[in-house]
């Protein structure tokens, strides 16, 4: 009996030891797993748009430390990404991020050619198009939320100017420097304008396109033209400080204010900058890398609104953030209003694209949308889809 007890005890110990060794081996393998991350950038850290992606890259490194190696390709123009992508593939990348809309077609082609690599494309809407690939994903923050809040801030400033007798309601004119006539840009300035109009219903808007993402001289010139035409609030969907500098340089000649995008302009336009908004790319990119490390699907790991191979989110998941508020020049009560609106978006209580407006497709006048029926942005994809111009209240200038 004694021998039997001893043998049973030893068998139990050996079983426990075997389980421990097995667990330790699995754990060590998990610890040893490393992921090579490739990121292709349209610009570099000198532009705010790219810098916001670089911050996400830094968050990846800070989160996973020596479990990740990051290879970055900077200043790759749209249409010239093939060579850079091939270099990332040849370098052994397990996951590759594309950061500019124009990479989307090529990224998907590479995903089809290299099914063992995850390809994640920002701002595109082609992940669920045929052929849908399990290793090709798209993502973007619901930036219209931030645009709308910025518009309310601008509207409150406009109302202050009206109440102080500095302008009349008929002079409540807003200018917008846009890059291209894409849905992403149109949706953004429409949300901004509807935010303004929620405070000053007489406001009108003029939009000028630069047809480039990043041209300081051209962006500044467009802003100067808008100011000369009587715009007292400007905003932008462009990558440089040109519009902010144009507003600041008016000095005592005219009161002109700016709501920015991607970066605060407080340093270059301290008397003109009001606030702004940006997309925080970190939540998606960090968790997408984590999914690869854990051998899980990206869509099961990332928190957001999942539609097939596409994910988006807004203030609710910190994918959209407001930039600093210049309380020195903002209207009284603005900070409290911003907090109220952000919380309302988080709870799903905000409805932006609606009102007594008729939207007209700029490429087909017979294609219209009556906003008396709400247009729900980002319903089926993370990239913006609203591309109608609000008739009679928004003017596009060449």
What is the structure's pLDDT at 150?
A: 98
Q: So where are the chain's domains?
A: 33-141+281-313, 144-279+319-397
Q: Is CATH 3.40.50.720 the right assignment for the domain spanning 144-279+319-397? A: no
Report which of 243, 168, 239 is spatially closest to residue 204, judged by C-alpha positions: 168
Q: Per-residue pLDDT tens for 342-361?
A: 999 999 999 999 999 999 99
Q: Per-residue pLDDT tens for 221-271?
A: 999 999 999 999 999 999 899 999 999 999 877 899 999 999 999 999 999
What is the structure's pLDDT at 251?
A: 80
By the 8 A CB rule, do 265 and 235 touch?
A: no
Q: 33-141+281-313 and 144-279+319-397: same fold?
A: yes
What is the structure's pLDDT at 360?
A: 98
Angle formed by the axes of helices 104-113 and 82-90, to 10°? 30
Q: In what order do the strands lie in the sheet with 364-370?
A: 364-370, 358-361, 389-390
What is the structure's pLDDT at 31?
A: 58
Mean pLDDT, all residues of the chain = 93
What is the structure's pLDDT at 11?
A: 54
CATH number of the 33-141+281-313 domain: 3.40.50.2300
Q: Which stretches within the chain are classed as H helix?
A: 2-32, 48-64, 82-90, 104-113, 144-163, 183-197, 216-228, 242-248, 282-293, 298-301, 334-346
What is the structure's pLDDT at 32?
A: 67
Ranges in the chain, pLDDT < 50: 1-3, 6-10, 13-14, 16-19, 21-22, 25-30
């Amino acid at each position: 009996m004694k021998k039997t007890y001893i043998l049973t005890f030893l068998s139990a110990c050996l079983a426990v030891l075997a389980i421990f060794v097995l667990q330790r081996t699995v754990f060590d393998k998990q610890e040893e797993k490393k992921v090579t991350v490739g990121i292709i950038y349209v610009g570099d850290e000198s532009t705010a748009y790219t810098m916001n992606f670089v911050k996400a890259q830094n968050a990846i490194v800070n989160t996973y430390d020596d479990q990740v190696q990051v290879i970055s390709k900077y200043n790759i123009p749209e249409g010239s990404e093939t060579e850079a992508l091939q270099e990332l593939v040849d370098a052994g990348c397990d996951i590759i991020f594309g950061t500019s809309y124009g990479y989307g077609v090529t990224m998907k082609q590479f995903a089809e050619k290299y099914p063992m690599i995850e390809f994640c494309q920002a701002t595109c809407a082609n992940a669920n198009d045929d052929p849908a690939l399990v290793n090709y994903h798209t993502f973007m923050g619901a930036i219209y939320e931030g645009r709308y809040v910025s518009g309310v801030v601008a509207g409150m400033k406009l109302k202050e100017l009206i109440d102080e007798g500095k302008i009349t309601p008929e002079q409540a004119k807003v200018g917008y420097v846009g890059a291209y006539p894409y849905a992403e840009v149109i949706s953004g300035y429409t949300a901004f304008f509807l935010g303004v109009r929620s405070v000053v219903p007489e406001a009108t808007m003029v939009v000028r396109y630069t047809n480039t993402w990043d041209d300081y001289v051209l962006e500044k010139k467009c802003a100067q033209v808008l100011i000369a035409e009587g715009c007292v609030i400007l905003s932008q969907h462009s990558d440089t400080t040109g519009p902010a500098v144009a507003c600041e340089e008016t000095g005592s000649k005219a009161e002109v204010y700016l709501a920015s995008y991607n970066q605060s302009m407080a340093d270059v336009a301290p008397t003109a900058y009001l606030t702004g908004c940006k997309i925080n790319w970190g939540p998606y990119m960090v968790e997408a890398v984590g999914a690869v490390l854990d051998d899980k699907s990206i869509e099961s790991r990332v928190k957001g609104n999942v539609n097939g191979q596409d994910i988006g989110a807004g203030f609710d998941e910190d994918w959209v953030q407001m930039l600093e508020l210049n309380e020195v020049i903002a209207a009284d009560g603005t900070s409290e209003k911003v907090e109220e609106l952000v919380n309302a978006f988080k709870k799903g209580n905000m409805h932006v694209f609606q009102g007594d407006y008729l939207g007209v497709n700029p490429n087909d006048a017979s294609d219209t949308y009556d906003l008396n029926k709400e247009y729900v942005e980002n319903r089926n994809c993370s990239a913006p889809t609203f591309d109608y111009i609000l008739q009679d209240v928004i003017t596009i200038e060449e």
